[in-house]
Amino acid sequence: MAELSYRYAVAEGLAREMRRDPAVVVLGEDVAAAGGVWKTTQGLLDEFGPERVWDTPISEQAIVGAAIGAAMTGLRPIAEIMYADFLGVCWDQIANQAAKLRYMTAGQLTVPLVIRTIHGGGVAKGAQHSQSPENWALAVPGLRVACPSTPADVVGLLAGAVRADDPVVVFEHKGLLGSKGEVPDDEHVLELGRAAVRRRGTDLTIVALSATVRLALEAAAELEGQDVSAEVIDLRTLVPLDAGCVLESFKRTSRLLIVEENPRQGGWGAQIAALVAEEAFWYLDAPITRVAGESVPLPAARGLENAVLPSADQVTETALKLART
């Protein structure tokens, strides 16, 4: 296994799929000669040329519209939207076109489209460049939603997304770009809809996603020193959702803490809480608890941003209280 940064794992995952399938193309703003604004498409133009790596105008509508057309006519495009916040600009194409075309044509058309985008706060980019809007995509039937937390999962989930015949939105967290981890050298494909248990525990279950997995693991390590055993589940994907993994863990621990960067209002954690309440109510030994972002526009000032986003200390404190309830 090679150790790669999360940032380079994106480029590696894209290159692997492009080598495997000549129908895979990449398009977006500055993805070619510049190697991507986030340097996540470095080397692709040199290896695959301008026929398969396309720089586009500064128009999210044009990027996604062209990608949908390409997907409908035989290609497997991977479109990059520079910031997840900008999904709002092309939401009609995503929510009303890409997500529904297979259904509306009774399967005569498929849209094997991947939309990659950078989400998340923690780096003081301000209210219009720091959101975690994965709950937007969660609410649209027909879309799949993936959120890798490690370099290995970046490669594996990208492979799973590219090979799917439905549109997949892959959220890559800007706060994780510099993190490193081992990535398998051989083909690495993760099935969408399979969560990962990152740490085993017996006293409570912590469900996390993307960057909050790191917070959950830091909290679990701290809790161990206080005789609390926390199990940490990385959902990996919101659609499909691995409900079985969550319920199996919860039924053993009887306590559930959900950690999400989404604003609490309408966040994906509410869906998990509802699932557990409906399917496993009688296993509850304490109230289902959520640690989430505050329902406010994210401040540009780093200190204020830190105050409204979840932290490892907040997760530790909440988990300790929950375990002793």
Q: Which of 40, 12, 54, 57 is nearest to 174 (CA)?
A: 40
C-alpha span between 325 and 319 (Å, rounded): 10
DSSP characters over 158-202: HHHHHT-SS-EEEEEEGGGTT-EEEE-SS-----TT--EEEE--S
Peptide bond into 240 cis (omega under 30): yes
Quote the pLDDT of residue 14.
98
**Would you list the domain boundaries of the chain?**
2-183, 196-323
Same fold across 2-183 and 196-323: yes
C-alpha span between 274 and 258 (Å, rounded): 12
Written as six digits, the tokens of 139 are: 């609410």
Angstrom distances, CA of residue 115 to CA of 2, 68, 111, 226, 258: 26, 10, 11, 42, 26
pTM beyond cutoff 0.85:
yes
Q: Choosing from 119, 129, 173, 188, which is the catalytic residue?
A: 129
Q: Which of 112, 107, 149 is nearest to 17 (CA)?
A: 112
* Residue keyed to tokens 């296994």: 1
Which CATH number is correct for 196-323, 3.30.300.30, 2.30.30.90, 3.40.50.920, 2.30.40.10?
Answer: 3.40.50.920
Bridge partners for 257 per DSSP? 206, 289
Q: Which CATH superfamily is 2-183 part of?
A: Thiamin diphosphate (ThDP)-binding fold, Pyr/PP domains (3.40.50.970)
Quote the pLDDT of residue 39.
96
Task: State whether the Cα torsion 82-34-180-226 is positive or negative.
Answer: negative
Written as six digits, the tokens of 219 are: 């909290």
Written as six digits, the tokens of 56 are: 């586009």
Residues of the chain where predicted confidence (pLDDT) is lower than 50: none
The H-assigned helical ranges of the chain are 6-20, 44-48, 60-72, 91, 101-104, 134-138, 151-162, 212-224, 243-253, 268-279, 302-308, 312-323
Q: Which of 181, 128, 172, 129 is nearest to 2 (CA)?
A: 181
CA 178 to chain CA mean position, Å: 16
Contact (CB, 8 A) for 7 and 173: no
Contact (CB, 8 A) for 44 and 10: no
C-alpha span between 258 and 291 (Å, rounded): 6
CB count, 10 Å around CB of 179? 17
C-alpha span between 322 and 257 (Å, rounded): 8
DSSP characters over 13-62: HHHHHHHH-TTEEEEETT-STT--TTS-STTHHHHH-TTTEEE--S-HHH
Per the annotation, the verdict on 173 as an active-site residue is: no
